Structure 1
Amino acid sequence: MTIHMVKLSVGSEDVDDIANWQARYLKTSPNPMHFTRMFPKRAEEILRGGSIYWVVKGAIRVRQRIVDIRQEQDSEGRDMCALVFDPQLVRTYAQAKRPFQGWRYLKPEDAPRDLKSGEAALDIPPDLDTALKNAGVW
């Protein structure tokens, strides 16, 4: 079974901020990475096609496939977990997400679907997005 992760993109105003941050990272590495202190217990499930879903301004808005999870050490010798991502950012429908610390697992059936090619990536408030979907106009 595949499982995903969801994480807040702290300090990002929009998906372009994530793209710019990762473009700077790609100048020195073939893949963008994120470091965290905790190693996911479900790493094998994540590596079976899982993605990280980034929360920006209160909603999941974009995802990236996780291509590797490895143990590394920081400059002070402490163990860290490196999440290695595919460089491609895939826009998703906005899905409201309350603030939380760290990261959480996300079941595939609970993940927002990807925007199809040509679909507009509107950064509307998640509550409005939900209301429009429930009304059948979105």
Structure 2
Amino acid sequence: MAHINLVKLSAGTENVDELARWQRTRRAQTADGKPRHVTRMWPKRADEILTGGSIYWVVKGLIQCRQRILRLDPVEGADGITRCAIVLEEGLIRTRPAQRRPFQGWRYLAPEDSPADLPESRQAEDALPPELSAALSEIGVV
């Protein structure tokens, strides 16, 4: 079975380093120390996500990184409502920037529509300012 990815806004995050810092906080982790993102809805295409899918993070209007999705855990909120914890592989993999308009929740992202990972030699580079990165992405130079 082919996999499918998710794309999600990293609300309130200014850059990839900030997202990484947040994921290292206890509040953003599972009991076994894995980073997670809790969402209201359970993905209908869970089987396809769990066969190699990643979550692509939108930071400041651009997909800038991704993480492989390890599992989906049910988690009950203080309000008694069961939600979906998307449990992620540790570490962010920087991708070629790709513009995304604001949206709520998450969206499915086909592998062929997903931005490529940056080469290993560029993973540790400081990110360009979002405006410059968006302009370069728009003209196909990244």
Could you tell me the TM-score, scaled by structure 1's length? 0.89
Q: After the TM superposition, which of the residue ranges 89-98 and 72-81 deviates more from structure 2?
A: 72-81
In 1, Cα distance between the equivalents of 2:44 and 2:114? 20
Name the SS for the 1:91 alignment partner.
strand
3-state SS of paired residue (1:16) = helix
Pick the aligned partner of 1:66 from 53, 69, 89. 69
The CA distance in 1 between the partners of 2:71 and 2:133, in whole Å, is 32
Matched, 1:125 2:128: no
| Residue 108 (structure 1) aligned to one of 103, 107, 111 | 111
Instruction: Verify the 8 A CA contact 1:94 1:112 in the aligned structure 2.
Output: yes
Structure 1: give runs of 5+ residues left out of the alignment. Answer: none
Which residue type is aligned with residue 66 of structure 2? Answer: R
Tell whether the 8 Å contact from 2:30 to 2:87 is kept in structure 1 after alignment. Answer: no
* Partners of 2:110 and 2:126 in 1: CA distance: 23
- Contact 2:34–2:88 (8 Å) recurs in 1: yes
Moved more, 116-125 or 68-77: 116-125
Residue 4 of structure 2 is aligned to residue 3 of structure 1: yes
Partner of 1:125: helix, strand, or coil? helix
Matched residues, number? 134
Q: 1:41 to 1:74 in 2, by over 3 A?
A: same
Q: Give ranges in structure 2 of 5+ residues lacking alignment.
A: none
Q: Greater shift after overlay, 103-112 or 123-132?
A: 123-132
Q: Which residue of 1 aligns with 2:48?
A: 45
1:18-67 Cα offsets, whole Å, 9 max, x none, are 01001123596420111111000000100000000000000000000000
Amino acid at match of 2:20: A
Alpha-carbon distance change, 35 to 44 in structure 1, aligned in 2, over 3 angstroms: same
Q: Structure 1 vs Structure 2: percent identity of aligned residues? A: 46
Change (3 A) 1:28 1:2: closer
Give the root-mean-square deviation of aligned CA atoms.
1.7
